[in-house]
Structure 1
Amino acid sequence: MRSLKDKLWRMTVKQIIILILTLVVVLLDTHTSSSKREELHIPYDGKLDPVSHRISNALLSSEATKRADYRINRFLEYWHINGASVALVKDEKLVFAKGYGYADMEKKVKVEPDHLFRIASVSKLITATAIMKLQEEGKLQLSDKVFGETGILNSEKYLNIRDKRACKISVEHLLRHTAGFTSRYGDQMFLPITIAKKMNVPAPASAETIIEFALSRRLHFTPGSRGSYSNLGYVILEKVVEAASGKDYETYVQEHILHPVGIFDMHLGKNLRQDKLPNEVNYYEQSNAILVPAFDGSGEKVYRSNGGNNIEALGGAGAWIASAAELMKFYVAIDGKDKQADILSKESVAYMTKPSRRGFSPIGWKGTRSNGTWWRTGTLAGTSALMKQNPDGTTWVIITNTSSWRGSDFPKELNKLMARVLRSVKKWPEMDLFNYFEAQPTMFVFEDVSDFVDRS
């Protein structure tokens, strides 16, 4: 039989090995996190690290979520989606955030919670929040007129107005898609070469040039009389944010909306893969996707997701990139609930989410219902996103890096998927990942160290 002293010695060796392995894991994790911060120029502060940089797929792998993993992976396989990111909040706690598939198919880089995705029209919710914040700061009112000599955008380039009804467009008309713009002849934000030719300027037409072009045409209906979804309207709101705040749009949003609530890794995206951020995914289209003329008028044939669409000109209408986890951090700051501090007042949140009559839109959100269901969709070539609040206290977001043949209807499939996922998980983890920080090495505390010292 082994002596008691021999057993104690073996126990001590095991504990030392466990301690060493724990230290190695922590040091590697800390180094990885530091490298990400340096690449993205994020100042180090243990309490200000993006939540998406503090968690990993390994942290969220558990028996409780195996069924969810299975359903999501099957869905990606069925729809030929290369990668996706999912995050879920329960009662304002981030209980789940995980990546699936590949961020980079060519290099076989798997999606992790810190990967950034284009979120397309979910960007409109960010822009709407900025406008509501400016109103709370007293820098504008939703009833303020946008165009004309007394409007917010009254510089000379915006005064060539053909249809005088445009002088009646208010900030709220733009927020609710009731300003009078339509896509009857195509979405203005996806016609940079055509508009450049009509305005006699080099391609691609800038956002300012596209606004000038729209003002040189007649409105398709009287502002406020009905609704028609408009990317152009939210591009104009981007310029309203800049005029009212005195700052460029991205800076204002980051300083007044995102950073105050602990979001540090959301940015405006770029047009080309070569210009993407280090932790941004690659974007993919279906195998039968056709090449289109490059947005810059060069004549080169490219995929829409890599130079075909002018993402940068979309700005506040569709250019933001974010992780799923930080999108949930943004959501809990505008949900009007009490457990997490909001960036907007309850009155502003209630006004944004008040159900609207048929044919009209809520502010920022795609739709809201009186039972507490809110949703926001986003679709571009190479990405699809859906954020949804449910009456039961759960809110989730799912973002993909591959577009589907179903186009703007694909979020309906994402909604069906997430309904199945929620039914498959009986109980979500109790942890709140918003408050998760890097693990510290386990410290063994012994009352009498001599008990573990071999004196033989």
Structure 2
Amino acid sequence: MNTACGGNGMTSRGISRRGFGKGAVAAGIGAVLGGTAAGAPSAAAAPEWRATGTAVSALAGFDETMRAFMRERDVSAGQLAVTYQGRLVLARGYAWTDDAALDVQPTSLFRLASLSKPITGAAVARLVQEGGLDLSAPIGSLVDLEPPSGGSADPRLGDVTIRRLLHHLGGWDRASTPDPMFRNFAISDALGVPLPIGMEHVIRHTTGLPLDHDPGTAYAYSNYGYLLLGRAIEAVTGTDYPSYVQDEVLGPVGISRMRLGRSAAADAAPTEVPYRSQNTGTTVLDGSGATVPGPYGTFNLENMDSHGGWIGSAVDLVRFATIFDTPAATPVLNGTSISRVFAEPETGIGSGGSYYGFGWSVRPVASGGTGRNTWHTGGLTGTSTLLVRTYNGMSWAALFNQRDDPSGLSYGTIDPLLWEASRDVASWPSGDRFPDYFG
């Protein structure tokens, strides 16, 4: 089943490698770099490891981690960017492939999946900061929530506010009612409209369904809730969602590569990597019934803009993350707005005190004072992503062009692996590579 972000289940707090120790990393790297094994046919086709960007000896553990992770899962394209105290210290593109034409640079574009949600959260926080949006406003006062002809809307929709949508407290629960963002065929049939369906069809159909919870009473991760936030941004700004994000969130920190992705392979952006999956399915992009590769038409990326539709690079993501670091250093969010983004919700505090803020998972950390780790994961067929900000001034983004393979290995383990790589750094570099990638 396709899902954007898969429930955001990772707990970014630096736990130990699960069955993936330094010995395994070293063995994996040796196998990658050592060429053909003794006795193997020399003419046999084999993937080759290629890395772009500047290698940093003090941070070699990050490279080793990515190499071993990708090799074990046969991931052909990956990317990593790491910052320390607001400085970009590592930016790398990785390829593990027998395709000589696959060139993965530190600025190559990947689908971000649910790493789109922190971007939408920042856009909403910016609008609130500028007085253009009230967090207490019911979504129905901004977006037309009309049910299908002959249907009726749940009266509790009046209690679904902007703040509750941000915190996944709107009342939709994909564990009870399937995620409408992946019900293209059902919505097409129910409304009698042809494929591909549009966002307006998703909203009309879902408005005619009862909520699964009273708004504000239960946390339930909702892609649909963030779709509505994108429409609220459009309603109050009078411009389209991606334009507002570019002008008010990304542009002020110099990010110009990021954009909304497209579903079809033929519509890929320049420098966008190809996506891989062992799965296929029926296209939702037209009514042909054709079987297509999983990443290219089994879901409608165009409908996912504000919850899962962005494409970008790892260096773009860690640059974006600086918006939340020091208010004086960014023209996007002030200290009050940053506090709002990471404030506790009215309900939904999990084990260890973790909760969901405005587009970020948050875990309070007490270590020589108080702080917090904030992170998000993303997943679509052909995409696995992670963005982490740590309480002690580090951040990283890891992107892959795959999330399933015959090995059956978890892709979520990249989180603890990168934590361990960070703890193994004896001395962090003093330079800043951001100027290499942003004018």
**TM-score of Structure 1 vs Structure 2, range by shorter chain:** 0.7 to 0.9
> Aligned residue for 2:265?
273
Specify whether residues 248 and 92 from structure 1 end up closer, same or farther in structure 2 by C-alpha distance, changes over 3 A only: same
> Aligned residue for 1:32?
none
In structure 2, give the amino acid aligned to 1:301: T
Aligned pair partner of 1:82 in 59, 76, 98: 76
Specify whether residues 155 and 390 from structure 1 end up closer, same or farther in structure 2 by C-alpha distance, changes over 3 A only: closer
Matched residue SS, 1:86: strand
Deviations 1:59-114 (A, max 9, x none): 51243233332232111101221111100110011111111115x86453231101
Distance 1:410 1:127 in 2: 28
Specify whether residues 405 and 59 from structure 1 end up closer, same or farther in structure 2 by C-alpha distance, changes over 3 A only: closer
> Aligned residue for 2:194?
202
Cα RMSD of the aligned pairs, angstroms, is 2.6
Structure 2 counterparts to residues 373-452 of structure 1, below 5 A: 373-404=373-404, 410=410, 412-436=412-436
Aligned pair partner of 2:136 in 129, 133, 143: 143
Matched residue SS, 2:82: strand
Point out where structure 1 has 5 or more consecutive residues left out of the alignment.
1-55, 439-456
In structure 2, give the amino acid aligned to 1:294: T
Aligned pair partner of 2:55 in 61, 70, 75: 61
Answer with 295-304 or 84-93: which moved more. Answer: 295-304
Determine whether 1:332 maps to 2:322. yes
Contact 1:132 1:344 in 2 (8 A): yes
Aligned pair partner of 1:164 in 152, 155, 158: 155
> Aligned residue for 1:19?
none
Point out where structure 2 has 5 or more consecutive residues left out of the alignment.
1-49, 366-370
Determine whether 1:189 maps to 2:181. yes
Deviation of 1:226 (Å): 1.1
Answer with 109-118 or 421-430: which moved more. Answer: 421-430
Aligned pair partner of 2:358 in 363, 368, 383: 363
Contact 1:95 1:429 in 2 (8 A): yes
Distance 2:52 2:144 in 1: 53
> Aligned residue for 2:142?
152
Specify whether residues 107 and 58 from structure 1 end up closer, same or farther in structure 2 by C-alpha distance, changes over 3 A only: closer
Determine whether 1:118 maps to 2:111. yes
Deviation of 1:290 (Å): 3.0
Deviations 1:258-295 (A, max 9, x none): 1111111000000011111111101111xxx3321101
TM-score (norm 2): 0.80
Deviation of 1:189 (Å): 0.3
Determine whether 1:128 maps to 2:117. no
> Aligned residue for 1:263?
255
Distance 1:408 1:362 in 2: 31
Deviation of 1:157 (Å): 7.1
Deviation of 1:345 (Å): 1.2
> Aligned residue for 2:301?
311
Larger radius of gyration: 1
Of all paired residues, the percent bearing the same amino acid is 30
Matched residue SS, 1:94: strand
TM-score (norm 1): 0.77
Deviation of 1:235 (Å): 0.5
Structure 2 counterparts to residues 10-21 of structure 1, below 5 A: none
Specify whether residues 250 and 216 from structure 1 end up closer, same or farther in structure 2 by C-alpha distance, changes over 3 A only: same
Specify whether residues 437 and 266 from structure 1 end up closer, same or farther in structure 2 by C-alpha distance, changes over 3 A only: closer
Specify whether residues 158 and 243 from structure 1 end up closer, same or farther in structure 2 by C-alpha distance, changes over 3 A only: farther
In structure 2, give the amino acid aligned to 1:78: E
Distance 1:336 1:126 in 2: 17
Specify whether residues 389 and 244 from structure 1 end up closer, same or farther in structure 2 by C-alpha distance, changes over 3 A only: same
Deviation of 1:311 (Å): 0.9
Deviation of 1:351 (Å): 1.6
Matched residue SS, 1:110: coil
Distance 1:62 1:389 in 2: 21
Matched residue SS, 1:122: helix
Distance 2:309 2:69 in 1: 26
Deviation of 1:407 (Å): 12
Contact 1:86 1:324 in 2 (8 A): yes
Deviations 1:147-188 (A, max 9, x none): 1xxx01147679964211112211111111111111123211
**Structure with the higher helix share, 1 or 2:** 1
